[in-house]
Amino acid sequence: MESCDCRATLSATAVPVETLINRFPSSGMITVSARICDVNCSVKNSYISILYGDHQDQNNSFVFKSMLSGLPTCEPVSGGGIGMILTSKGEASGVNFHDNAILSNIHFLHETIIGNAICSIRLTANGRTFEVPGCIFCISENNQN
């Protein structure tokens, strides 16, 4: 039996971000942690969690947790590294964002020429959307700086 290949364990802690809540501008602080594993792994090996605190309206703050149910789509990135794209269903806890939630097509850039980044965060719950346009630069736990 082949071993589990976890391609990336990435985190970004207390990063100030400009966001869109139902397409309206907002801002806050976000913490994202993710472990993304490859084909030889069981579902329990991969996860993503997001903690967001909104500065304008605390009702938009939430915690999202998901054990990833599918494998990422992996693509080589020009200049080196890999891009991993995934969609995940999970649970959100918050006032406006709660219960079942979907994180759509989040992009993880791992060991690229610009470093490690989490891009295109888009979460939907209760008919509401949360988006972080652009990328958040992060560290890889396997490469502590």
pLDDT, tens digit, 9 for 90 and up, residues 35-94: 877 655 555 578 899 999 999 999 999 999 998 767 778 888 888 888 888 888 999 999
pTM of this prediction? 0.85
Token duo for residue 12: 């970004």
d(CA 43, CA 31): 22
- The residues facing 71 across adjacent strands are none
Cα 104 from Cα 89, distance rounded (Å) = 9
Phi/psi-derived region of residue 22, left when phi > 0, alpha when psi is between -120 and 50, beta in every other case: left
Q: Which of 134, 104, 141, 129 is nearest to 118 (CA)?
A: 134
Structure tokens at 48: 């993503």
DSSP-derived letter for residue 4 is P
Give the SS3 label for residue 39: coil
